[in-house]
């Protein structure tokens, strides 16, 4: 039986969203804010040092991991595209860093939950379209979110995790995750997939109910400044290895793998009030020679979308 043209069109998979469509979805959900990033618009800069772990070069065999230590340019942020969002919001926190040494640059883009909110660019756009505020209520329409969740169940996982706990007490007491998998190669070793996990040496702590009520909406930067006045804030960076069945392509799926390889320690030493990171575009494709991107479609879509976002905050449309 021959399908009609209309039925044939409906049977085709939806077209892949363009890089501009990804940024449009963020702008439509959070508004356009001149000079600000489309995602993680609220943030501030810091500086620090990354010290590779002994044997890290055996897992990721590039010059950067053979240095005694390398410079780290860091940005802490609150998820979403609203630069005025509350620090108490139950949204993701971001830790982004650029490690520079041994003639290499390594950009790590990390979130405070172990899963992303979308498995594909199409789901990414749909997730945000469902959350465009209703003009009357100024809040997302729950029915639109339900329709998205029915079409894209991957969009339910990260929101469920965020709803299960309060916001972090501090950027220093938050774990961070790459969500995306990368392919690592060491000295004489077969290449293997891994996700990045960053664990705070101060432990993971969320706001208490009293703190949620009493703290001001803007407290994270001042809290970290006070903490850094006493000592550096340290994190241990690991490569998490997948267990059998863990998806290498879907960042919305949590990994069950418990094996980890220590890559090194990040010590954040001071805030950068000059904001040197504000003009930096941290790119997930800026990788040492021993690390390559996986075929994760979200990961593959990010570089072009970041270029569109940069053009817009630099004065383009």
The reply, when asked if residue 306 is annotated as ligand binding, is: yes
Positive or negative, the CA dihedral 178, 180, 185, 189 is: positive
Per DSSP, 115 falls in state: S
Determine contact, residues 52/63, Cβ cutoff 8 Å: no
- Give the separation between CA 285 and CA 302, rounded to whole angstroms: 9
The stretches of the chain forming alpha helices (DSSP H) are: 5-11, 19-30, 56-59, 121-129, 142-151, 157-163, 209-214, 220-228, 297-313
Tokens of 269: 């030493």
Active site residue 40: yes
Determine contact, residues 263/56, Cβ cutoff 8 Å: yes
Tokens of 292: 């390559």
195 - beta bridge partners? Answer: 240
- Give the separation between CA 206 and CA 216, rounded to whole angstroms: 15
Catalytic pick among 33, 40, 165, 193: 40
Determine contact, residues 172/267, Cβ cutoff 8 Å: no
265 - beta bridge partners? Answer: 51, 236
The stretches of 31-156 forming alpha helices (DSSP H) are: 56-59, 121-129, 142-151
Place of tokens 């830790």: 95
- Give the separation between CA 94 and CA 111, rounded to whole angstroms: 5
Annotated binding-site members for heme: 306
Annotated binding-site members: 306
**Catalytic site residues?**
40
């Amino acid at each position: 039986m021959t399908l009609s043209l209309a039925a044939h069109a409906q049977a085709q998979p939806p077209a892949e969203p363009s890089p501009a469509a990804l940024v449009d979805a963020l702008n439509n959900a959070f508004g356009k804010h001149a000079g600000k990033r489309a995602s993680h618009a609220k943030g501030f800069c810091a500086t620090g040092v990354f010290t590779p772990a002994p044997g890290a070069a055996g897992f990721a065999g590039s010059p950067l991991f053979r240095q005694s230590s390398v410079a780290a340019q860091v940005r802490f942020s609150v998820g979403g595209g609203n630069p005025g969002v509350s620090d108490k919001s139950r949204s993701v926190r971001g830790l982004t860093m650029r490690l520079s040494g041994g003639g290499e640059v390594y950009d790590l883009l990390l979130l405070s939950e172990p899963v992303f909110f979308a498995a594909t660019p199409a789901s990414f756009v749909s997730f945000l379209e469902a959350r465009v505020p209703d003009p009357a209520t100024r809040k997302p329409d729950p029915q639109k979110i339900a329709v998205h969740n029915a079409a894209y169940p991957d969009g339910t996982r990260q929101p469920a995790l965020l709803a299960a706990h309060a916001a972090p007490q501090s950027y220093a007491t938050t774990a961070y995750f790459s969500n995306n998998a990368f392919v690592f190669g060491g000295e004489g070793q077969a290449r293997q997939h891994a996700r990045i996990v960053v664990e705070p040496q101060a432990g993971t702590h969320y706001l208490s109910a009293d703190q949620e009520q009493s703290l001001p909406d803007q407290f994270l930067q001042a809290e970290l400044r006070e903490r850094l006045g006493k000592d550096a804030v340290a994190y241990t960076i690991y490569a998490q290895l997948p267990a059998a069945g863990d998806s290498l392509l879907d960042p919305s799926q949590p990994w069950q793998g418990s094996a980890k390889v220590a890559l090194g320690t990040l010590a954040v030493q001071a805030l950068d009030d000059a904001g040197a990171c504000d003009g930096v575009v941290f790119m997930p494709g800026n990788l040492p020679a021993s690390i390559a991107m996986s075929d994760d479609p979200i990961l593959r879509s990010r570089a072009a979308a970041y270029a569109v976002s940069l053009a817009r905050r630099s004065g383009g449309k």
